[in-house]
Amino acid sequence: MPANDALHLDRLRIGDLDAVSLTLAPGEILCLSGTSGSGKSRLLRAVADLEPHDGEAWLGGTAQSSVAGHQWRARVMLVPAESHWWADTVGEHLADARPADLVALGFTPEVLDWQVSRLSSGEQQRLALVRALSREPSALLLDEPTANLDDATTRRVESWLKARIRERGWPVIWVAHDPAQIARVADHHRHIVGHRLVKEVGEWA
Ligand SMILES: Nc1ncnc2c1ncn2[C@@H]1O[C@H](COP(=O)(O)OP(=O)(O)OP(=O)(O)O)[C@@H](O)[C@H]1O
């Protein structure tokens, strides 16, 4: 695993959630679950510095507040539940994608010639993950990365993500609903209960 930085949240506060403090070591996956509207996506957006919030986030020795938002997000990369596409073809968004990553997620390299307009929601989701990882971030924030996928494809994406996370040493916050998925991928699990992130202890913890 390459030398990498830990992600540390220091009394981060947004919306109705109590202040959140936690540290993720390089290569560690924290799964975050909670009912709809409990604040999972907003917390990720605060960590990505996309919404005003209190408290601080650190990547290694770099404080979120010490760098411009776009510079922070280039390192602490958010993959939202709904991906955004701005050019006509897939290839225009994935210039740096590794062919092996495309193949791992079930595509052939010809996918780069496809029009974005033809992509299914599951194809968009998988390609948005490849795009994010191709930008060589330092940490990942994944908002329900398998929400649009069938079981077999979900397993495929999980395996690929986990392998790449371990290989690159990214600290990761992964919003997930499925307890079976959480058991498969999480090093740590926090569940939102009321206004708090509660530690869930399972066989993976
Ligand atoms: N910019 C905003 N200002 C005020 N409230 C907001 C803002 N964005 C979202 N909310 C509210 O904050 C709450 C948490 O939203 P969030 O999107 O984080 O939920 P979530 O836990 O990710 O839910 P889901 O599982 O349905 O995606 C919701 O009640 C939402 O309506």
Q: Would you give per-residue pLDDT tens digits along the chain (205 residues)?
A: 455 899 999 999 999 999 999 999 999 999 999 999 999 999 999 999 999 999 999 999 999 999 999 999 999 999 999 999 999 999 999 988 999 999 999 999 999 999 999 999 999 999 999 999 999 999 999 999 999 899 999 999 999 999 999 999 999 999 999 999 999 999 999 999 999 999 976 544 4
Given 2.60.40.3710, 3.90.550.10, 3.40.640.10, 3.40.50.300, which CATH number is that of 7-199?
3.40.50.300
pLDDT at 205: 40
pLDDT at 204: 44
- What's the length of the chain? 205
Buried b (16+ CB within 10 A) or exposed e, 96-133: ebeeebbebbebeeebbebebeebeebbbbbbbbbbbb
Q: Which residues have any ligand 1 atom within 6 Å of their CB?
A: 15, 34, 36-42
Separation of 16 CA from ligand 1 center, angstroms? 10
Separation of 38 CA from ligand 1 center, angstroms? 7
CA distance 169 to 37: 30
Dihedral class, residue 37 (left if φ above 0, else alpha if ψ from -120 to 50, else beta): left
Q: For residue 15, give the ligand 1 atom closest to its CA.
A: 12
pLDDT at 200: 78
Separation of 32 CA from ligand 1 center, angstroms? 14
pLDDT at 203: 42
Reported ipTM: 0.95
